[in-house]
Amino acid sequence: MHPLIRLLRPHQWLKNGFVFVGLLFGHAWTDPALAGAAGNAFAAFCLLSSAVYVFNDLMDREQDRRHPQKRHRPLASGAVGVPAALTLGLACLAGGLVLAFAFSRAPWIFLAYLALNVAYSLGAKHVVVLDVFIIAAGFMLRILAGTLGIGIPPTHWLLLCGLMLTLFLGFAKRRAELNALLGESAGHRRVLEHYTEPMLDQFITVAAAGTVVSYALYTVSPETIAMHGTPWLIATVPFVLYGLLRYLFLLHRRGGGGDPARDILRDTHLLAACAGWLVSVAVLLGGR
């Protein structure tokens, strides 16, 4: 892949799929206008998230050169120069903002995403626990962009499940960083000196349990059954549970957990769990 393309981290665009969750659970995928609006929100987040990655890599390139994996990034390795990276980042930023203001009913969501990432880069990423909550907030803004931003009211269940899942992924990422860097972790990411493996294991357990319980309660809620016209969403819980347990296996035994998008694309079990969940939900909701 060309270094400029790698700098954009296109595999991370998978995370922007959270934009489509509202479309799925709002029974709006057959509405061309809403589907198009969600597609525009997805494209805007792809451009803005790539701009954030470019500027983060610019700021962290010296530190990345000392990291066993990040030293291969285009800026850290010297494959891409600073002027080219700045030009690319600004182009993505401009394109994303144009899409956000042209097509979204709530462009403030995209501005909040950018402000959140600026705060993260300028110091919040060094504050233990808050760093992971900021990562989770970025995912929550994606969900809001695909609901409020296109005219679909988000349910409290959707927001709760999204929060629990993204906190799980965030703490798993910190655990993976500790695994990869061993005793030198604080030198690569300052906040890691405040985390310990037992502490993160407890955080991950709480978030994983919260994800499964909140999603299971959502599927059997009378409100959910009335909205979707089926009591069988509970049948999709095993896919969620298997996916979380497989992710923990990769985290502890296969060196995974540091990059959810890459892990999903590389591991057939995770990919099958995600595909099984998506297909089963689509079939159940489509039969309404």
Could you read off the pLDDT of 9-57 as tens digits, one per residue? 998 898 899 999 988 888 888 899 999 999 999 999 999 999 999 998 8
For residue 287, the model assigns a pLDDT of 59
DSSP state of 14: G
Question: Do 58 and 104 fall into the same domain?
Answer: yes
Give the C-alpha separation, 258 to 78, whole Å: 23
Question: Do 181 and 133 fall into the same domain?
Answer: no
pLDDT over threshold 80, residue 68: no
| Domain CATH for 149 | 1.10.357.140
Question: Do 138 and 230 fall into the same domain?
Answer: no
The whole domain housing 272 covers 155-288
Question: Do 140 and 264 fall into the same domain?
Answer: no
Could you read off the pLDDT of 139-198 as tens digits, one per residue? 999 999 999 999 998 889 989 999 999 999 999 999 988 887 764 544 556 788 889 999
Distances (CA, A) of 96 to 26, 100, 278: 25, 6, 27
Backbone angles phi, psi at 3, to 5 degrees: -55, -35
Question: Last residue of some domain: 114, 131, 154?
Answer: 154
Could you read off the pLDDT of 245-283 as tens digits, one per residue? 999 999 988 777 778 888 888 899 999 999 999 999 999
Question: Do 149 and 197 fall into the same domain?
Answer: no
Question: Do 84 and 208 fall into the same domain?
Answer: no
Please name the residues in contact with 221: beta carbons below 8 A apart, sequence gap of 6 or more: 157
CA–centroid distance for 230 within its chain: 29
Question: Last residue of some domain: 106, 121, 154?
Answer: 154
Question: Last residue of some domain: 126, 154, 182?
Answer: 154
Question: Do 25 and 128 fall into the same domain?
Answer: yes
Question: Do 150 and 245 fall into the same domain?
Answer: no
Question: Do 190 and 86 fall into the same domain?
Answer: no
Question: Do 199 and 265 fall into the same domain?
Answer: yes
Question: Do 159 and 233 fall into the same domain?
Answer: yes
Closest-CA residue to 158 (of 211, 100, 234, 236): 211
Question: Do 118 and 189 fall into the same domain?
Answer: no
Q: Write out the H or E segment, with its range, that includes residue 198.
A: helix 197-220
Could you read off the pLDDT of 195-235 as tens digits, one per residue? 999 999 999 999 999 999 999 999 999 999 998 899 999 99
* Domains held by the chain: number: 2
